[in-house]
Amino acid sequence: MTPVITAAFKSWADVSPLKFAKAGKGMKGDITIGFFPRYHDDGNPFGAQDFAHAYLPEDGRLHYNANWGWTFDPTKKGEKRKVDVQSIGVHEIGHTLGLDHSADKSAVMYPYFAPGMKKRDLTDDDKKGIKALYPE
């Protein structure tokens, strides 16, 4: 899983002054990522259609919903009904960095996503949002 999560972070690092590194064993990162069941002791259970949720920078948690079928490549045969780990990662990392949803339907930060979709590339709208929060 690490390569797709690394790629999701790289999407944001490539267009901002932010740098990301995996926390070493026994260290707590500023952003923590995991797969969790619907009820997972954060006071925010997943709804039936929720793929994931994330918290703002002060908290930094990103939770994937373990009840969904996940894929590393939604274009592969047999994977079309699964959810792309990297696409959701790019979107949710945007939230952990402080971004809200976008009204631009092509943006990674647009709130709609469906199994089989692949939305990994930041749009101008996404880039404008992150640069407003973290100017170079």
pLDDT in tens, 70-127: 999 998 999 989 999 999 999 999 999 999 999 999 999 999 999 999 999 999 999 9
The answer as to whether 114 is a domain residue is yes
Whether 92 is catalytic: yes
Neighbours of 81 (CB within 10 A): 12
Whichever domain contains 122, its CATH number is 3.40.390.10
Helices (H), ranges, the chain: 2-13, 85-96, 124-133
Residue 84 annotated as binding site: no
Residue 40 annotated as binding site: yes
Determine the pLDDT at residue 113.
96
Residue 117 annotated as binding site: no
Q: In sequence order, what are the beta bridge partners of 62?
A: 33, 54
Determine the pLDDT at residue 33.
93
The answer as to whether 96 is a domain residue is yes
Number of domains in the chain: 1
The answer as to whether 44 is a domain residue is no
Q: Which residue's entry shows tokens 């969790």? A: 36
Neighbours of 16 (CB within 10 A): 17
CA atoms within 13 A on the CB side of 13: 9
pLDDT in tens, 53-75: 999 988 999 999 999 999 999 98
Reported residue count of the chain is: 136
The answer as to whether 119 is a domain residue is yes
Both tokens of residue 96?
A: 């952990």
Q: At what angle do helices 124-133 and 85-96 cross, to 10 degrees?
A: 30
Question: Which among 58, 79, 92, 136 is annotated as catalytic?
Answer: 92
pLDDT in tens, 15-52: 999 999 998 888 888 999 999 999 998 999 999 899 99
Tell me the residue range of the domain where 90 lies: 2-21+28-39+49-133
The answer as to whether 124 is a domain residue is yes
Residue 91 annotated as binding site: yes
The answer as to whether 17 is a domain residue is yes
Longest dimension (CA), the chain: 42
The answer as to whether 118 is a domain residue is yes
